[in-house]
A and B are shown apart, each in its own frame.
Chain A
Amino acid sequence: MEALLDNAGPLLQGLLTTLWIAAVSGVGALVLGVLVAAARVSPVPVLRGVAFGYVQLFLNVPLLALLVLFVFALPDVGLLMPLTTTVVVVLVVYEAAYVAEAVRSGVNTVPLGQAEAARALGLTFLQSLRLVVLPQAVRAVVQPLGNVLIALVMNTALAAAVGVVELTSATNKVNLVEAQPIPIFAGAGVLYMLVALTIGLLSGVVERRVAIVR
């Protein structure tokens, strides 16, 4: 316990980095994921195909492989970005595939007749998505999206492998000095759990809020 308290500074600094990376990537992944999902259900075959390929690609490549590729291979082809930015970019494109799947499954819960009625009234595809389909898909999507965001927070730990000092990396560094792995890593575990619980609770609240609209 003492080892934890003595090192609260670097650990909290690591936690902040974790939260910051997760928040920025989370927002980015939500935006990109909704766009990919929209493309997947669009009437344009090319868009559907590209979006399908995108989702399949990122669902089937390990995140760590992507991180290593982006961090070490991109500079080789002349693409230089700050390390944290690279990690955020990788997380955004990777998690967007999961967001897209969650949103698409939500869209599939909305009866087909809703989109047909919207189209029959002259709404364009994007209008019917925005005004009719997505508002009714939201309810089914909140919990799955919450789970994607929790997974995203856990996945930020992989940034440690490419040298970003987020919570896991900071914990590791502290342990190298203190050599008390059990309390130190347990402490970090509790912090991750608190973040996950908070996201879970928040998505529960949001789900109840959107349910009342029905």
Chain B
Amino acid sequence: MAAMITVSAVNKYFGDLHVLRDIDLEIAPREVVVVVGPSGSGKSTLCRCLNRLETIDSGHIEIDGRPLPEEGSELARLRSEVGMVFQSFNLFGHRTVLENLVMAPVAVRKVPKAVARDRALELLDRVGLAGKADALPAQLSGGQQQRAAIARALAMEPKVMLFDEPTSALDPELVSGVLDVMADLAAEGMTMVVVTHEMGFARRVADRVVFMDAGEVVEQSTPAEFFAGARTERARSFLSKVLAH
């Protein structure tokens, strides 16, 4: 089966800092890949390179068989097919929750407003925010904001969803609501790349765990293998730290 995401020999620098080192990664359609690793290992950068929020210095990235285009309308179209969920939600503060979901389908896909609205209301219902359509983002809890942000990304009917630490900014009691929405999405067959420190989620939902350290993909395996006995010392040391608390 053709890969949904192909990353080959990707290198990325921030000035002198070599942030991504020769990354190779293939992600199949419907696969859920969880990326873990210590702080500063390049997880977010990798995630952001996948929809070209960051540019790469060498190597090659393809989404659904198409190389990432240069900045411009082609890239915008490709981004519309790749949903992204940020640690800090980034809902549009001046628009209601419903308007947050309707904006891009109308502006980018030229979906009629009424159609986009109906679909948005369905999505809000699905993420448990049926009553919040007319609220402003600031009136929602963090967990509600993040579920709204997931719904906003889904409103574009993406082929792939990227999550960069979607629950790291949340109070502990709000985390599970967001993870449940993500687990449902995975069960429906969405292709997902999830950067997270939630090892329980990785164990339950991931098809594959990718461990990064210092800009390298050090090891990748099924969650069962990874948590039962990581092959590398670096992964074992990371696991002992995150599983300690």
Contact = CB atoms under 8 A, between A and B. Distances in A.
Interface string B80-109: 111110101011111000000001100110
A123 B92 contact: no
Contacts of B138: 214
B93 A114 contact: yes
Task: Identify the interface centre among A43, A44, A116, A122: most chain B CB within 10 Å of its CB.
Answer: A122
A120 B93 contact: no
Given A116-B53, A131-B107, A123 B76 contact: yes
Interface string A19-43: 0000000000000000000000001
Contacts of B108: 121-123, 127
A120 B94 contact: no
A123 B95 CA distance: 16
B152 interface: yes
A213 interface: yes
A127 B108 CA distance: 9
B191 interface: no
Contact of B79 (A44, A114, A119, A136): A119
A121 B53 CA distance: 11
A116 to B, nearest CB: 6
Interface in A135-190: 135-136
Query: Which of A43, A123, A136, A213 has the most C-beta atoms of chain B within 10 angstroms of its own C-beta?
Result: A123
A45 to B, nearest CB: 10
A121 B90 contact: no
Contacts of B81: 122
A117 B79 contact: no
- Which of B83, B103, B153 has the most C-beta atoms of chain A within 10 angstroms of its own C-beta? B103
Interface residues of A, number: 21
B71 interface: yes
Query: How big is chain B's contact interface, by range?
Result: 20 to 34
Contacts of A213: 94
Nearest to B73: A124
B104 A122 contact: yes
A179 to B, nearest CB: 57
Nearest to B48: A116
Nearest to A44: B71
A117 B77 contact: no
Nearest to B152: A121
A62 interface: no
Nearest to B138: A214
Contacts of A43: 71
B156 interface: yes
B51 interface: yes
Nearest to A116: B53
A127 B90 contact: no
A15 to B, nearest CB: 38
B71 to A, nearest CB: 5
Interface in B139-189: 149, 152-153, 156
Given A121-B79, A121-B153, A131 B93 contact: no
B94 A135 contact: yes
A127 B107 contact: yes
A214 B93 contact: yes
Interface of B: 51, 53, 71, 73, 76-84, 86, 88, 90-94, 103-104, 107-108, 136, 138, 149, 152-153, 156
Q: Which 3 A-B pairs have the closest CB atoms?
A: A122-B80, A117-B90, A121-B104
Given A119-B76, A122-B77, 11 more contacts: A118-B104, A119-B53, A120-B83, A120-B84, A121-B103, A124-B73, A131-B103, A132-B92, A135-B94, A136-B92, A214-B138
